[in-house]
Structure 1
């Protein structure tokens, strides 16, 4: 648990320096290389399905076995070296500060009146087409990304590392990265990316709901509209193609009293999507900053909850002994 707490603190302090090699970029490279070798759009759906499943298995094996080997070697050299490497791995699997830094670039550009710069900044953190977005659309895209990734980038990996250390965290991030790269329901990836998308749905089912509840609780603590966050979470928490993505978006929209989601453009095609939340007030650039407060608050609360559960289990075991 000490290694996880250390990794959490390191993430909040340093984020992801661009000069530092990052394992998630490495996982992305492996996915890209395997996709180039396996994906043939002329293949029948059944062949694309098994090829996509083979990619998923290979990526997960590589993503777990390499860090497992590094951990084993480090602990064999010295216990403290192993602990340091494990803490560093936990740090690299969390993306709380990185998400804040990238979204605040959008915020700053909007505040400076640089809509084109904001559009460029938001294109770095969303998968949709950003060329058609106006100032409101840019702001909504940034807020939605912060809200959704509060689970994917922070709380979910934290929960999995609490259960199984960084190796389970790497397994989760491998699946999550595959979903973000090939999990689209379009003509190219509908069958090839289906395994990755389905496994990602399974792995995120509980963490996304826990994240929605944590964000709702934090909205009370931060003086936001906690009652509305709870109401919108219950009402709109399933308004998404994914069974998980709308959970934190709904809690965030309710806490900020704004409306998120709605139609968006992907790969040149308009995708009709339901709205989340009520337009009690217009979306404003300040909502990006407020969404980041919810992100940080939810992440800290998740860590405290994990520590409390682990501490309680330890006490119970001691009493039984």
Structure 2
């Protein structure tokens, strides 16, 4: 058995586990079309069909499932051996690709990333700031940083930030013209600054909870943005109400520039988490970054 055949068997195992050529290709660092071509070649070499393909899904056949059961112990042993070799490295190295959104980049990465880069000069970090919800497996990222309640359940998630709270705010001048809302439904009568995620066609709902009751409100107003600072600029100018993180407007509220309403409808929610695929062993560079972010959290 040559090296190409071994590579094709490992690729087959990735496709069978992921049930997707796209996700498996991202893990393997190759294009879906090249991976599909390799699987057809493997099936021709073995003389048996390993994968059942449809336009929407891919799954191992009975023969493929049997082969996968045979391959898994050997692949796990190889992975363990490679992981053990990682312990011989004195310093983390290589490229680390992280996706996050602007608020998390400012709150989590800005305080800690310079010290990390100085401590580990052999690591090159690429940060992609995207206010959508990027699939890190498909996009080929090593890890992401998001709010804990938006992380998929099949990911390994590590807390790297404190709990957060949402806040509805407006200027004193705005509330001089409009009565403050006392329930989330009252927001339907107000001008609201709305936010649209780059990966979603709809507007981000304003979500509230009180005494176990959850309420999601679709607001309307004169401005829709996908940029937090621009939204807050409009709120501070008195254009309308904003729905943001309490931490982002705490100074404005203390100084009286903004007035917070519906605070009793905004309980804490899980803060920032770094997450990575559960089937992918964290590299030394990623483990070092996690340790750095965790140290910043408790400092």
TM-score (norm 2): 0.24
> Which structure features the higher share of helix residues?
1
- Asked which structure has the greater CA Rg, the reply is 2
> Which TM-score applies when normalising by structure 1?
0.23
